[in-house]
Amino acid sequence: MSDIVVTLPDGSELSVPEGACVEDVAYEIGPGLGSDTVAGVVDGELVDKAAPVHDDARIEIVTDQSEEYLRVLRHSAAHVFAQALQRVYPDAKLAIGPPTEEGFYYDIAGVDIDEDDFPAIEAEMADIVEADYDIRRLEVSRAEALAEYEDNEYKTEILDEEAAGEDPVSVYEQDDWRDLCKGPHVESTGQIGAFELLSISSVYWRGDEENDQLTRVYGTAFESESELEEFLNMREEAKERDHRKIAREMDLFSIPTITGPGLPLYHPAGKTILSELEEYVNDLNDDAGYGEVETPHVFRTELWEESGHYENYQDDMFLFDVNDEEYGLKPMNCPGHATIFDQGSWSYRDLPVRYAEHGKVYRKEQRGELSGLSRTWAFTIDDGHLFVRPDQIEAEVRQVMDGIEQVLDTFDLDVSVDLATRPEKSVGSDEVWEQAESQLESVLESSALEWGIEPGDGAFYGPKIDFSFEDALGRSWDGPTVQLDFNMPERFDLTYTGEDNAEHRPVMIHRALYGSYERFFMVLIEHFGGDFPFWLAPEQVRILPISDDNLGYAHRVKNELSAFRVEVEDRDMTIGRKIRAAHDDRVPYMVVVGGDEEEAQTISVRDRFENERNDVDPSAFVEHLRGEVDKKTVKPDFVTDHDD
């Protein structure tokens, strides 16, 4: 039997016999690692330790010390939930139960339950965990599996689609219960140290409104009770930071039923923040040499056919007929930008050509997936498209990445980076995709960034570098992206005249610094808990006269601060109540003026953290505020910074 070669996380190569599995690779590295192996990651995919490896595969061994271990444990917790559910409700029919970022869920049918039923199910789960049943992977014939699940249309569909052509298929068994599953799982139910069922919702099978409506139960699991308690405390904090809650308190946006689902309305305070975010990107675009363009919200579908969106994206598009012609609301801005480029005549000296647009797009997400600003039907992308020569790719991608890092650093967001490769549904030849992925990998390897691979997560027209960021609660969010596209220039027959006077094909780079304004706005609301940096805050300063006798001086101070968003609190309240109201409204700075301040022509300044500074010259305060705006300071620091 010949050997194959696999690559380990440190870049070293290891020869193993053909037909080896993940666990075999671990034992080749060392017997201790082999005995500790729980699962593996093969080419970026989490798999069972019995999964076979192939030549040139990238292999990572998962033990109980690995980051991926918690995902494996939570997958097993989903099985414990399903077993407990069927003990309490034997008629419950199981659909799917994967691990998630925060825990797990299981979609079920055939039983009507709500959160009041959780204690009984959790008690049964506790018995299963205490029993410490071995979790065994078994292989059964396809015929046996189809017979076992003949009364479960969901499992049968999985066998016919995800497991099509597989024979045998894998099931996982614990005690007298088992489930169709690819794994991986922990060794036994007792390894699930702590768990809790969290919530319940209704979903459609496969996310399709034409399919059955199922009940989805969410839960979480950890190795220890202390980790679970920490998670639950953070979850309560997340509820307090929920962007929908804060939006109501600060009057930022609304999504009323009458407008339609996923179609947000921005109120003056919310629009103020969005305008500041837009101005920031405009400044970055100007510095980077972008020309601002604008494209309409709707195009004939002929454009989407040319770009490839119609073939690959039409199920997510809003399509309609006008005078026997089909039109569609744009799901992306790139075809419009490609068409603008196509209207010109370009020399190699003209490239790169860079276009930018704050472009509104529309995507028909399933209603059950819509949630505040995190997922909407209408959203705006701070879109940019670059048309470059092949020899300019590395420099332009680097410039885009520098811009993204600058944005995330401005908002004090920790970043992680991944290369997303070709998805199953895509356009273009293997050669083009290999070239595009190789170019992006080269840029990443020459950068100082740590990065990983997201197999199959690229756009249908090209691979991309994805930036995700972590908020104040440690949650990870998808954000900016830079994508390399050799396909759309080919589809639109875009050309430039080279130094040899022949026509050449440009390369198209797609980029967004925020991702979408809606998603980024949502993250900022929750990251800052509504306490926006001074330069973003819809109301930046509130002037609090101690009495009506000081109203005139309060308005004179307001005039001195006219470069900023300033209000005078003139309601009939005590100064204590005025301070509390400004604090509740999340105003970065409060300026208190009374008789002493008026006589001395000074002000007293309080920040939202209840720090105070007296006898302040208004002009010094103005100068400091200009600095906070220019430097994009995250926290108001006038009171704590005494260098003014």
Query: Cα(397)–Cα(418) distance, rounded to whole angstroms?
Result: 14
Q: Compute the distance between CA of residue 38 and CA of residue 73 in angstroms, rounded to an integer.
A: 10
Whether the ω angle into residue 119 lies within 30 degrees of 0, i.e. cis, is no
Helix (H/G/I), strand (E/B), else coil: 609: coil
State yes or no: 510 annotated in a binding site: yes
**240/202 Cα distance (integer angstroms):** 24
Instruction: Supply φ then ψ for residue 314, to 5 degrees.
Output: -65, -30
Rounded to whole angstroms, how far apart are CA atoms 332 and 87? 48
Q: Which amino acid is at 601?
A: Q
**140: helix, strand or coil:** strand
HSE-CB at 439 with a 13 A cutoff on CA atoms is: 27
Neighbours of 640 (CB within 10 A): 11
> Quick one: which of 223, 232, 227, 228 has its CA closest to 190?
223
- Of 85, 109, 107, which Cα lies nearest the Cα of 96? 107
Q: Are 613 and 640 in contact (CB under 8 A)?
A: no
First-to-last CA distance in the chain?
Answer: 77
User: Concatenated DSSP letters for 362-430?
Assistant: E----GGG-BTTTB-SEEEEEEEEEEE-GGGHHHHHHHHHHHHHHHHHHTT-EEEEEEE---SS--S-H
Task: Print burial letters for 502-513: b (CB count within 10 Å at least 16), e (below 16).
Answer: eebebbbbbbbb
Q: Is 334 annotated as a binding residue?
A: yes
State both tokens at 614: 């007296």
Q: Using CA atoms, how far apart are residues 263 and 275, in angstroms rounded to an integer? A: 18
For 569, half-sphere exposure in the C-beta direction (CA atoms, 13 angstrom radius) is 28
Binding residues: 334, 385, 510
Binding residues for Zn(2+): 334, 385, 510
